[in-house]
Amino acid sequence: MASVTFDRATRIYPGSEHPAVDKLDLQIQDGEFLVLVGPSGCGKSTSLRMLAGLEECSEGRILIGDRDVTRLQPKDRDIAMVFQNYALYPHMSVAENMAFALKIAGVAKDERDKRVRDAAKLLDLEPYLDRKPKALSGGQRQRVAMGRAIVREPRVFLMDEPLSNLDAKLRVSTRTQIASLQRRLGITTVYVTHDQVEAMTMGDRVAVLKDGVLQQCDTPRHLYDRPNNVFVAGFIGSPAMNIRDFPLTQNGAMVGDTEIPLHREAVAMAGREGNTVTVGFRPEDVDLAGDGQPGVPVEVDVIEELGSDAFLYGHLPGANPLEDSPIIARIDPRSTIKRGDTVHLAIRPHHVHAFSPTSGERLPDA
């Protein structure tokens, strides 16, 4: 168990000028579950592979505990990794797969067997110890890959999208299992995923990356409530936050024919850059306005029924629904709104996020 520190770690692939990971600065506490999340090509896997030692650091340092591991071989870093496609050794049985690292490390056979049995018990793999990987289902293989990491008792766990090859239902249950297993073992874990739901549900903290640059690293709650910029705001949350530019007024932004009040300083800062401001609001921070109440008129294109919730997808009158991104609102699943209706949406003023229209950075709201 140990903390992990990325100190301006940079990776530039040979033949490319743009860094895959650009001056990543990240402190991961001892025992913490940190999730790296971002769209594909954002450098999250590269960051993990740099920590594993499978990818060189072009610049900067990586520390595990107090030890600088930047130039160390993977085997000297005391880490264990779970790969997206599991990478089991196909010619070895489950038990041999799990014991492989211990065998190389020269651990005595009794101790090896004991640790493999303990891990197998933890992961419900005991009946399969003598099987070869090809005789296992996808979920069992995934657990073997986890078990192989657990028996090592490493200082840091690295997981590279370990759930993306499972079917949707198994993914949800395994998600909880991994998170609770990690809390029980208390081993520092760095977890890579492109799925923001996984990131939000599993991580103590979530680091959002884009184009190799760290956008924000915070607790899931904070990330959701106070995104640092437009990218984080749009990436975290499903369905995504409604984000678009609206004309700036004296006290806020003009959305449709309604004025949404913004913080004074935010208005002033946006005013220095132009006469628009980027406003974001989450689908659940919208109410249907009753008759006579002010609201943004929206023409309904689609109603998405999820059972517990329903989401309304619509567009502002006069906008082309095929070109513009839709306005999304959460509504009562038992409401009678139909396609083609026009509804008036009231946006809850305290849940509005304002961003600079030029830089995309969050504007002050308090």
Q: Which residues would be at the binding site for another protein (CB under 8 A)?
A: 52-54, 73-75, 79-81, 83-91, 100-101, 104-105, 132-136, 138, 141, 148, 152, 165
Q: How many residues does the chain have?
A: 366
Establish how many alpha carbons lie within 13 A of residue 134's alpha carbon, considering only the half-sphere containing its beta carbon: 3
CA distance 252 to 249: 5
CB of 275 to another protein, least distance (A): 53
Q: Which is nearer to another protein, 136 or 363 (by Cβ)?
A: 136
The 8-class DSSP code of residue 227 comes to -
Give 75 or 351: the residue with its C-beta nearer to another protein: 75
| DSSP SS3 for 327 | strand
- Closest separation between CB of residue 134 and another protein, Å? 3
What is the CB neighbour count within 10 angstroms for residue 336?
6
Asked if 300 and 344 touch (Cβ cutoff 8 Å), the reply is no
CB atoms within 10 A of CB 181: 17
User: Which CB sits closer to another protein, 86 or 224?
Assistant: 86
Nearest distance from C-beta of residue 72 to another protein, angstroms: 12
State the pairing for strand pair 342-347/286-288. antiparallel
Q: Which is nearer to another protein, 91 or 114 (CB)?
A: 91
Nearer to another protein among residue 73 and residue 336 (C-beta): 73
Q: 10 Å Cβ neighbour count for 169?
A: 9
What's the gap between Cα 126 and its chain centre? 32
User: Distance between the two ends of the chain, CA-based, in angstroms?
Assistant: 39
Q: How far is the CB of 238 from another protein (least distance, A)?
A: 25
Closest approach, Cβ 131 to another protein, in A, equals 9
Question: Closest separation between CB of residue 34 and another protein, Å?
Answer: 19
Q: Which residues lie closer than 8 Å to 271 by C-beta, 6 or more apart?
A: 248
CA 230 – CA 357 distance, rounded (Å): 9
- The least distance separating another protein from the CB of residue 282, rounded to whole angstroms, comes to 35
Of 54 and 310, nearer to another protein (C-beta) is: 54
Encoded tokens for 84? 């997206």
Closer by beta carbon to another protein, 91 or else 109: 91
